[in-house]
Amino acid sequence: MKTRQQIELLIRREKPNPLKKIRIACGDGLCLVINKGGSKIFTSRYRLPNQKNAEDYSHSPPYPEISLTEAFKKHYILMEKVKEGINPKLEQKEKALKEASEPTLNEVAKDYFSKALLRESTLNDYKTRYEKWVSSKIGQLKLKNIDSADCINHIQIVKNESGKDSYNKGDGTRTASIIKTILSQIFIHAVLDGKLKLSRNPMLGISSKMLGIQQKHNQKKRVLSQSEIVETWRKITLHEQLGMLLPASAASIHIAILTGMRRQEIVGMQHDELQKLEDGSAIYHVPSTRMKGGVDHQVFLSKFCMNIINRLQTNTIYAFPSSRYVDRPINKETMNNSIRSIFGVRRPKPPIEMIIDIPWFSPHDLRRSFSSGLMNVFKTPKPIIHSMIAHGNDDDDDSEGLGYDTTLDKIYVIADEFNEKKSYWQQWSDHIERLVSQPDER
């Protein structure tokens, strides 16, 4: 009887025969089969109790990925099961069937998105990002086969790849951070739904700090001057006229300037939520699902606002339709991209005369500027401004000098001073229309 060292040497040296398979006995019913094509597979020969003929069971992976010692371990485990009357081939088939029935990450993600209690704009944003960065990359993997290393590696890939987008200016930290959040929520959903054990959640213990994707929030709060608002309006209009911005993208910035609404409140606007008035204006009934505070809100849209919206002539339910998807509105990032466009950081870079020459600002800064304008130009009472912009104590935004007085806010909400708010929206709209209609004297 050859020793294991001698058998190992024989296995290593033996060449395949293109005409027939070669069997090398290893002992105790284990052998190595060298196929005609050259693959070397360890095989166990066994006979179940009360079974007349012996059968072969092939172990994976092939040699040399599995050593002779490891093959013997697998062989002895298999023989113990045979003694107990377990058919290894039947067990293998059952395992394969169970594997086939295991859900993929994409399947669990679809279920999560259908049940997630998220604001409409956030849900659409999550879906879009998942489709772009996850679905075709690791979405086809079986949920139970995804480990922490897979998640970490993929998030790092997202960070590097998204950083190449011109609007990210070489930094994919924010996109990677959001993808981490989406994956965490999907795996938590899988645990709660019984599709995954808590201890098998691959996102457990993975922090943004560990991945180097902590978001650095800009603490500088901008309030645009009247001249900066006018310059912004004109540059947005110019970029639209020259085909550098789509009409819906440009209109969303104009409406932000005129109303002080948040991005999700603007982009999610639907035609059936607009109560048309006789003079051409409208009242926008914003549903609670689109509001940061989760409470229904009303915004007055002047005739000037409605002319901008009606100019889009959409055939969908959305006032600001996506140019890529007929059943979706533009997303919040579209408004950010519109601002990036006039600052010249999108590709292709526009001529110098197309680039705005003021300090950088964000869409939320337009909201601050609206509040500041109402207070400085029309001396609007602070509680009224609070009510107009649905400013909550979680906004962490006091650069308008508004402070936050919940008592006063409740008084105005209860009293429903909508006519007073409507008057200020109209005055601000008239003020902006007058400013942007004046000839540019530069």
User: At which of 79, 101, 123 does a domain end?
Assistant: 101
CB 148 within 8 A of CB 206: yes
In terms of Cα–Cα distance, which of 315, 358, 312 is closest to 339? 358
> What pLDDT is stored for residue 216 in this prediction?
63
Output the pLDDT for position 407.
44
Q: Return the CATH number at 89.
A: 3.30.160.390
pLDDT in tens, the chain (442 residues): 688 889 989 999 999 999 999 999 999 999 999 999 899 999 999 988 877 888 899 998 999 999 999 999 999 999 998 988 888 888 887 776 666 678 999 999 999 999 998 878 788 889 999 999 999 999 999 998 999 999 999 999 999 998 775 455 556 898 999 999 999 999 999 999 999 998 889 999 899 989 988 866 555 689 999 999 999 999 999 999 999 999 999 999 999 999 999 999 999 999 999 999 999 999 999 999 899 888 899 999 999 999 999 999 778 999 999 988 878 999 998 999 999 999 998 777 888 889 999 999 999 999 999 999 999 999 999 999 999 999 754 455 544 455 544 444 444 444 457 899 999 999 999 999 999 998 765 5
380 and 274 in a common domain: yes
Are 157 and 63 in a shared domain?
no
Q: Do 28 and 8 share a structural domain?
A: yes
Question: According to the model, what pLDDT value does residue 324 have?
Answer: 86
Judge contact between 154 and 134, C-beta under 8 A: yes
For residue 151, what are the domain limits?
105-200
CATH number, domain of 123, equals: 1.10.150
**One domain, residues 355 and 423:** yes
Same domain, residue pair 76 and 110: no
Q: Report yes or no on 214 lying in a domain.
A: no
d(C-alpha 66, C-alpha 428), whole Å: 76
Does residue 125 sit within a domain?
Answer: yes
Domain termination site, one of 101, 117, 138: 101
Together in a domain, 140 and 14:
no
CA proximity to 150, closest of 202, 80, 104 = 202
pLDDT at 442: 54
What's the rounded Cα separation, in Å, for the pair 214 and 217?
9
Beta bridge pairs of residue 34: 22, 40
Both 279 and 157 in a single domain? no
Domain count, the chain: 3
Is 233 in the same domain as 351? yes
State the pTM of this model: 0.59
CATH of the domain at 246: 1.10.443.10
Domain end residue (candidates: 84, 101, 118): 101
- Note whether 361 and 250 are same-domain residues: yes
